[in-house]
Amino acid sequence: MDLDGILNPILKPDCLSEGIGLRPAQAADKAFLFEVYVSTRIGDVALFNWDESQKLAFLDMQFNAQHQYYTAQFPDAHWDVLELNGEGIGRLYTNRHAHEIHIIDITLLPEFRRQGIGSNLLQSLMDEAASTNQYVLAHVAQFNPAMHLYQRLGFRSVSDDGMYTRMEWHP
């Protein structure tokens, strides 16, 4: 997968809390971004009667398909790596419009979940939206445990298609 020329070069200098920040993803981050993606899908393929190489090949194909879809649908999006003390811990993909901040994808590696990092990240996006008179939009898989986080932070369900719930937060 060629990430050159696709990734947004805008650096967000603000840290969410001590040691946590965002930086634009680069082509050299492909292996890390794949690791983040795999962390969300490994449970799905664990049930397949495939050897590890088949599972990884399938996940690689899915990762590439997701990336191609995202970049085609959101050509002006920000593709960021979430870091803790300079080490990658997740990804944040956002698309900003005049009236909304669309969270395309937000994923933390499993060992960094349930530590308040996701809450801080979402709150940072909500603060940005409030200061610029925008709202925040996310499509959350219905069985994603993060659904409770969005609800706790004040996101409201606007619609659902049976698989994803459109969640919005308005200042």
Q: Is the per-residue pLDDT at 29 higher than 60?
A: yes
The pTM of this model reads 0.86
Q: Which domains does the chain have, with CATH numbers?
A: 20-169 (3.40.630.30)
pLDDT score at 6: 34
Token pair listed for 141? 């898989």
58-113 tens-digit pLDDT: 999 999 999 999 999 999 999 999 999 889 999 999 999 999 999 999 999 999 99
Q: What is the largest CA-CA distance in the chain?
A: 50
The SS3 assignment for 76 reads: coil
b/e for 49-65, b at 16 or more Cβ within 10 A?
eeeeeebeeebeeebee
The model's pLDDT over 136-166, given as tens digits with 9 standing for 90+, comes to: 999 999 888 899 999 999 999 999 999 999 9
| pLDDT at residue 3 greater than cutoff 90 | no
Dist CA 26 CA 66 (whole Å): 17
